[in-house]
Amino acid sequence: MKILVTPRSVTRGGHPSLEKLRAAGCEVVFCKAGAQPTEDELRALLPGCAGYLAGVEPVTARALEAADKLRAISRNGTGVDNVDLAAAKARGIAVLRAEGANARGVAELAIGLIFALARGVIPADNALKRGGWERGSAGVELEGKTLGLVGCGRVGKLVARMALGCGMEIVAFDAFPDLKFNPGEGFRFATLDEVISRADFLSLHCPPAADGRPVLDAPALARTKRGAFLINTARYDVFDADAVLAALDSGALAGLALDAFDTEPPTDARLAKHPRVIATPHIGGFTRESIDRAMTVAVDNLLAALNKSRS
């Protein structure tokens, strides 16, 4: 069986988990090293592949038209919104997720970005590197501040536990809240409106809405505290980028930390280059530990699906 492997962290340097595929008699093929494959590149690579270990690249209906033998797509992450699920289902292709494998990496990045926003770490560092000694505006301490979580699944729960350790108050919204989750005094579930309006720091950990509308649109942003900080380590489509840009320009938002873009690298860099924004190139799950967990789960999921389809 031929298996296509495309995650950039793996095509750049390989990964030990791929030996499981080779030991099972699979031929492992790669896209261009360290690059996200285009639709046309996928159309050239997918013919003859029984399995596809996918990264974050868009897997469109047109790309899947070329997948004449494909039986399973296994993501090395939790999200599958980059895959045309309807097209996959129509072709009888299983779509599998490495649930929770990179949750700690994403959660720790979110916490790190909260600290960086609160203390103005990036502009202070840039000023010093330019030869200046500009302390800028005074930072804020996290103790006693309210962290609003939009989404309280695996990542959100880890962020909540860490933030409680900083003395923050946590209000969380989840479409399907785990009411047994109680990490300590100072945490509670609330409505989406309350989370948005009470947060000093608002961190997004939810998937895009099924209907394609942003969870954080212009009316929702209008309800945030003036001077709040926004953190998005989830998906770009979770918020209305134009509304966020306007809120940054007006000072309604004091800052944004962003680790997800509509295209990677972004073709619209207005947010990434904004002086109130910390932008990172989708590094949330890019830790040695997260990569190891995600690849192990993704490979095991793929082998199980392929073995099942043969039985």
Q: Any idea which residues carry the catalytic annotation? A: 235, 264, 282
- Cα(300)–Cα(306) distance, integer angstroms: 10
Closest by CA to 237, choosing from 82, 63, 103, is: 82
3 state DSSP class of 75:
strand
Closest by CA to 55, choosing from 9, 104, 101, is: 9
DSSP state of 237: G
191: tokens are 């409505």
- Cα(310)–Cα(64) distance, integer angstroms: 21
- Residues 142/196, Cβ–Cβ less than 8 Å: no
| Per-residue buried b or exposed e for 289-303, using 16+ beta carbons within 10 Å of the residue's own CB | ebbebbbbbbbebbb
User: What are the residues whose beta carbons fall under 8 Å from the beta carbon of 98, sequence distance 6 or more?
Assistant: 74, 75, 76, 77, 78, 293, 294, 295, 297, 298, 301
| Start-to-end C-alpha separation, the chain | 15
Closest by CA to 285, choosing from 15, 100, 84, 115, is: 100
Q: Which residues pair with 202 in a beta bridge?
A: 148, 230
**Sign of the Cα pseudo-torsion (222, 224, 228, 229, in order):** negative
Residue bearing tokens 């999200």: 79
